[in-house]
Amino acid sequence: MARRISLVNFKGGVGKTSLTVNLAACLAHEFGQRVLLVDCDAQSNSSIWLMGAPHWSVLNEKPQNTIYGIFMDQNVAHPIHLNVIKGVSREDGRVAIPTLDLLPATYSLMDLEHEYKNADDYPYFLRFNLQISQFFNSYDYILFDCPPNVFRASKCALFSSEEIYIPCNPDILSYVGLTLLNQKIDAFQKQTVAYHTLAQDYRLAQIRGIILNAMRGTANYDTVIKTMEAWIHNARSSSAVDDNAEVLPRMIRHSVSAGRAVQEHKPVILCDGFPSLTEDYIKLAEYIHHKPLQRATAYQPIFQPDKLKKTKKE
Amino acid sequence: MELQEKIERAGALLEANKAIVKKASIAKFVQSLDKALDIFLKNLEPELYRSTSEYVELAALVDAPTNKKVLTKQWFDDKANLINRKFAKFTKKEKEEMIIELVKTGQAQMVIDGLKTTPEKRSQHLFSELANLSEQEARQCIEKMKPKEIEEFCRHNQITTEHTKKGTFDRKMTTPHVFKKLQTVRDYLKL
């Protein structure tokens, strides 16, 4: 059964995408895990990063071939498993990480927020869950790269996740909103309680930690780390926060040249010239890989297609 | 034939044909196999320990910038004593070796727990607790603390301490620094 992890923060520019892409790559490349990266951000940065702009631009014309296919008329959309790009990371035209796959996004995903209307029986997050659940047994990890908000796309990811990590820069601005984020997650989980038993292998997603990104060696982050620790200390009483939540001891150093990895359409681990950054990502992946997840008991019974309709009619 | 099957087959043959194996023509192969297995096991063992959750957690704690102050040479010497070893310098390689030995001898969890509950960590947890209380509640807690405890609390939380002309700890002049830092974090927590 795959570990399903969302990387979420209200704030933009805290490194959600770079963490997701590189964490996924390290888990696959260094630890031999089968990883599916699901791009839930309409900005499509992880998709562009891993696919390269030319390939992604072609895809941008075909929303039925992307994650948005889940929400399209099923007569038009492709079966979602056909939209997964296997071994997405390539080097000189060859697959570089065979166990890293991508379910890409394009700008069309933005329509989920405004245009998409819930079908009678299936709210968007349940529809997403039922489609994504076909991958639960074929991967070791499913990582959701979320946009900097808690709108529909993020909610889809949260509904299908069991773990949440919050990327933060070591400044107070990226801390701002953690309380609100926690409240939003908590409220969403309460609002959707009627659907938990209808979802496939539903688990209450919990915040497991804050990942500090872009740390500069010489700076003093004492106050900001103290603030984050104090926040976690208090937030553990919330059902959306794991009892063992922490500011992860593995942190990612700042690097001015990491943008080159994006230009080369490769995760950092495949690029030359970033030994410290590569080491940080590997150590972070190793830490998360070994941070055991005490799985809560899954909701029963497993979804039966006719059950929901019946309940609604009643 | 897979490597594992070959090893199993070799093991079975060695067991069933003890006399033949001792023949000079075969003995030299057995000897080199024995040597190769020794090297294999010697190299495999650290890798096995390296892939345990205890190793990963302890390595992360030893590397964490937030634990820098705890991890003095004395701390490393104490832990090296646990495994009856002495390290001249605690280089990256030596630290790794020490952690592997701690995992191997079953002492890693104790060291992890120790690192999580050092006086420094306790002070830092206390800071988190106080930051989540109102100013008045925090003040009551601080007032109950002994001067030595406050001094230690300040040292572990990077709070400036003041001293009298005689050089002793000045509680009265130090507490405003404590409240100032607590207030800064409390203000941020409201965001």
**Residue A299, pLDDT score:** 45
Closest CA to A68 of A16, A103, A100: A103
Nearest-by-CA chain A residue for B50? A286
- Pick the residue from chain B with its C-alpha nearest to A293: B53
* Residue A154, both tokens: 């993020």
Mapping DSSP to helix (H, G, I), strand (E, B) and coil, where does residue A243 land?
A: strand
Buried b (16+ CB within 10 A) or exposed e, A246-263: bbbbbbbbbbeebeebbe
Output A299 or A200, whichever has higher pLDDT: A200
Average pLDDT estimate for A153-159: 97
The answer to whether B128 contacts A215, with C-beta atoms less than 8 Å apart, is no
B189–A292: do the CB atoms touch at under 8 Å? Answer: no
CB contact under 8 A, A177 and B132: no
- Say if residue A133's pLDDT is above 80: yes
Evaluate whether A168 touches A227 at the Cβ level (below 8 Å): no
Residue A140 has φ and ψ, to the nearest 5°, of -90, -30
**To which H or E segment does residue A142 belong?**
strand A141-145
Nearest to A190 by CA among A202, A207, A201, A204: A204
Strand partners, A91: A94
Question: Is A310 a residue whose pLDDT tops 60?
Answer: no
* Residues lower than pLDDT 50 in chain B: none
Q: Return the pLDDT at A218.
A: 78
Specify the 3-state DSSP secondary structure of A20.
helix
Report H helices in B17-118: 18-21, 24-50, 53-63, 73-82, 92-104, 108-116
Lowest mean pLDDT among A20-24, A137-141, A269-273, A306-310: A306-310
Stretch A214-232: mean pLDDT: 91
pLDDT beyond 60 at A32: yes
Residue in B145, B44, B60 with CA at minimum distance from that of residue A249: B60
Confidence label for A305 from pLDDT (cuts 50, 70 and 90) = very low
On chain B, the residues whose CB falls within 8 A of the CB of A232 are 128
Please name the residues in contact with A107: beta carbons below 8 A apart, sequence gap of 6 or more. A42, A44, A60
Say if residue A278's pLDDT is above 50: yes
What residues contact residue B37 under an 8 Å CB cut-off, 6+ apart?
none
Please tell me the total number of residues recorded for chain B in this structure.
191
C-alpha dihedral sign at B7, B13, B16, B20: negative
pTM, two decimal places: 0.87
Please give, rounded to a whole number of angstroms, the shortest distance from the CA of A93 to a CA of chain B. Answer: 32
| CB–CB contact B127 A231 (8 Å) | no
Given this model, what pLDDT does residue A295 score? 58
pLDDT tier at A296 (50, 70, 90 boundaries)?
low
Mutate to test the interface with B, among A168, A237, A290 (most CBs of B within 10 A): A290
pLDDT digits 0-9 by tens, B23-36: 888 889 999 999 99
pLDDT 10s digits, A197-212:
999 889 999 999 999 9
Long-range contacts of B1-9 (CB under 8 A, 24+ apart): none
Helices (H) and strands (E) in chain B, counts: 11, 0
What pLDDT, on a 0 to 100 scale, did the predictor assign at position A294? 65
Summarised one tens digit per residue, pLDDT across range A64-81 is: 999 999 998 877 778 899
Q: What is the pLDDT of residues A237-254, one digit of tens each?
A: 888 999 999 999 999 999
Q: In whole numbers, what is the pLDDT of chain A averaged over residues? A: 89
